[in-house]
């Protein structure tokens, strides 16, 4: 087979600040997937894109080329469908209560999720702390569960945008993860190929977010909304705060336990607020703008769907979740007000306790993590519990303590701390 282009010429075009043609983009994505373009060549191109960016037309074409590298699904044959994607954050367990909440209104929710790497926990890791639950489903199994239960949380199949899977691994090792055109096309190629009817994006910014700078997070949100719109997919993004952890737990089984509390009508106010906000957006995009989502949490409808979802994938929704063999409680040294909490420090501590992984092959300790007893704005007295560390290996405590140095900021008793709103902006 005679190749239409030479990788060096494509790299040179973007290196010199040029615009890649549709034909160049189609060829280089396909050739890389086939192994004709070598990793070192795609690394050079990714760095050129990182440094020089892409025009909107280039990003659209790149995304389409990634979609065309694999299969396309179509869940809309089941009726109204909606999906959500989060860019990841500390304590972000929103998917767990959100999927059954939206499905309780008859909207199908095909939530294709991933595992954690680094400081952000993966939805599949959380779900796999439930005894018996399995993430790997065939397309037929997904369709059956969606039809009969209404919601599914599972791993994306290998046939969905395989070019992205290969390029994602490369970006992770070449310092090009933060390139907005590549982030946006990575996320949206999978979501468009998935074939849902509407998509709501939760783009996080702040100390514990992948995209810390608010303006860059806003640019990413706008780019993804444009990609979805250009593809005919109803797409909305919420820009949300990730300065402090979401909820009161960071860690797999701990977060499942907290999610079940929300489905039972309780749970932390920030988790409820964001779950409700995203559910409203998903239901409005699916044609139900007046759905009373709070009622579905309060009356048990969402909990019913959750239990059926878990059981449909082999899990026992009533089984005991893993509990850590070792705990250590951090207490306040003096009376005061917790004025700030570094989400990244908490995340790294949980990761070092065993809740996360450094490499995709690493196992996780489902019971490990950090449980918070106070959040910014709360008053505490000397000796009060501030957080509890959980792990199955007590030798991991010292490095977790190192991550927590400077993670908490204190103010004098009586100090008023203004909390940033969870939802910063809506982009549509």
- Residues 91-115: what's their mean pLDDT? 95
Position 170 scores a pLDDT of 86
Average pLDDT, the chain: 94
- Residues 282-287: what's their mean pLDDT? 96
CATH label of the domain that carries residue 281: 3.40.1030.10
Position 129 scores a pLDDT of 96
Position 368 scores a pLDDT of 96
85 is catalytic: yes
Active-site pick, 61, 84, 85, 357? 85
Same domain, 33 and 172: no
Asked if residue 2 belongs to a domain, the reply is no
pLDDT-derived band at 120 (thresholds 50, 70, 90) equals low
Position 121 scores a pLDDT of 66
Tell me how far apart the alpha carbons of residues 225 and 426 are, in angstroms, rounded to a whole number.
11
Asked if residue 417 belongs to a domain, the reply is no
Decide if pLDDT at 359 tops 80.
no
165 is catalytic: no
Position 320 scores a pLDDT of 97
Asked if residue 25 belongs to a domain, the reply is yes
Position 387 scores a pLDDT of 98
Domain hosting residue 264, numbered range: 75-312
Tell me which of 285, 312, 339 is where a domain ends: 312
Same domain, 164 and 296: yes
CATH label of the domain that carries residue 396: 3.90.1170.30
Same domain, 255 and 301: yes
Active-site pick, 190, 204, 280, 352? 190
Position 119 scores a pLDDT of 59
Decide if pLDDT at 87 tops 60.
yes
What percent of the chain stands above pLDDT 90? 84
Same domain, 79 and 141: yes
Same domain, 116 and 172: yes
pLDDT-derived band at 290 (thresholds 50, 70, 90) equals very high
Position 18 scores a pLDDT of 97
Position 328 scores a pLDDT of 98
- Residues 29-41: what's their mean pLDDT? 95
Asked if residue 58 belongs to a domain, the reply is no
Tell me which of 312, 337, 360 is where a domain ends: 312
Position 92 scores a pLDDT of 94
Asked if residue 170 belongs to a domain, the reply is yes
- What is the per-residue pLDDT across 144-199, written as a single tens digit (0 to 9) for each? 999 999 999 999 877 888 998 889 888 877 888 889 999 999 999 999 998 999 99
Tell me how far apart the alpha carbons of residues 280 and 198 are, in angstroms, rounded to a whole number.
12
- Terminal alpha carbon distance of the chain: 44
Decide if pLDDT at 26 tops 80.
yes
164 is catalytic: yes
- What is the per-residue pLDDT across 201-223, written as a single tens digit (0 to 9) for each? 999 999 888 889 999 999 999 99
- Residues 64-88: what's their mean pLDDT? 93
Position 263 scores a pLDDT of 97
CATH label of the domain that carries residue 44: 1.20.970.10
pLDDT-derived band at 116 (thresholds 50, 70, 90) equals low
Same domain, 227 and 281: yes
Active-site pick, 108, 119, 171, 375? 171
- Residues 22-33: what's their mean pLDDT? 96
Asked if residue 317 belongs to a domain, the reply is no
Query: How many domains does the chain contain in total?
Result: 3
Same domain, 49 and 143: no
Asked if residue 287 belongs to a domain, the reply is yes
Asked if residue 231 belongs to a domain, the reply is yes
Same domain, 275 and 208: yes
- Residues 296-314: what's their mean pLDDT? 97
Position 2 scores a pLDDT of 76
Same domain, 335 and 308: no
Decide if pLDDT at 117 tops 60.
no
Active-site pick, 30, 164, 270, 365? 164
Tell me which of 288, 312, 336 is where a domain ends: 312
420 is catalytic: no
Position 122 scores a pLDDT of 86
pLDDT-derived band at 360 (thresholds 50, 70, 90) equals low
Decide if pLDDT at 133 tops 60.
yes
Active-site pick, 186, 189, 243, 259? 186
Bigger pLDDT: 160 vs 413 = 413
Same domain, 371 and 282: no
Same domain, 35 and 179: no
171 is catalytic: yes
Same domain, 249 and 114: yes
Tell me how far apart the alpha carbons of residues 98 and 8 are, in angstroms, rounded to a whole number.
46
């Amino acid at each position: 087979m005679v190749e239409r282009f030479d990788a060096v010429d494509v790299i040179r075009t973007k290196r010199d600040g040029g615009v890649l043609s549709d034909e160049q983009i189609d060829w280089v994505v396909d050739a890389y997937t086939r192994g004709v373009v070598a990793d070192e060549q795609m690394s050079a191109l990714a760095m050129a894109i990182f440094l020089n960016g892409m025009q909107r037309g280039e990003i659209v074409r790149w995304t389409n080329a990634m979609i065309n590298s694999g299969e396309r699904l179509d869940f809309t044959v089941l009726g109204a469908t909606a999906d959500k994607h989060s860019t990841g954050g500390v304590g972000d367990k929103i998917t767990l209560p959100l999927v059954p909440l939206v499905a309780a209104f008859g909207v199908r929710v095909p939530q294709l999720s991933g595992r954690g790497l680094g400081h952000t926990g993966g939805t599949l890791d959380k779900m796999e702390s439930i005894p018996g639950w399995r993430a790997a489903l065939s397309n037929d199994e997904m369709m059956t569960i969606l039809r009969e239960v209404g919601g599914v949380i599972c791993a994306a199949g290998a046939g969905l945008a395989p070019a992205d899977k290969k390029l994602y691994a490369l970006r992770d090792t070449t310092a090009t993860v933060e390139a907005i055109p590549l982030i946006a096309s990575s996320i949206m190629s999978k979501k468009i190929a998935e074939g849902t009817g509407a998509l709501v994006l939760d783009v996080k910014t702040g100390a514990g977010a992948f995209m810390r700078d608010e303006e860059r997070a806003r640019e990413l949100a706008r780019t993804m909304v444009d990609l979805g719109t250009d593809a005919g997919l109803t797409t909305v993004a919420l820009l949300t705060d990730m300065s402090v952890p979401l909820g009161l737990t960071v860690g797999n089984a701990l977060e499942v336990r907290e999610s079940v509390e929300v489905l039972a009508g309780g749970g932390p106010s920030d988790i409820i607020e964001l779950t409700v906000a995203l559910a409203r957006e998903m239901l409005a995009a699916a044609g139900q703008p007046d759905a009373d989502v709070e009622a579905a949490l309060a009356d048990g409808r969402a909990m019913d769907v959750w239990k059926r979802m878990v059981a449909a994938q082999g899990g026992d929704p009533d089984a005991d979740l893993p509990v850590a063999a070792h705990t250590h409680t951090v207490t306040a040294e003096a009376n005061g007000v917790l004025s700030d909490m570094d989400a990244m420090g908490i995340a790294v501590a949980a990761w070092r306790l065993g809740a996360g992984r450094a490499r995709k092959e690493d196992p996780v300790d489902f019971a490990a993590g950090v449980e918070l007893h106070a959040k910014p704005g709360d008053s505490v007295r000397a000796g009060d519990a501030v957080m509890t560390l959980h792990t199955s290996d007590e030798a991991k405590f010292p490095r977790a303590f190192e991550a927590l140095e400077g993670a908490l900021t204190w103010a004098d008793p009586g100090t008023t701390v203004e909390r940033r709103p969870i939802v910063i902006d809506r982009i549509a």
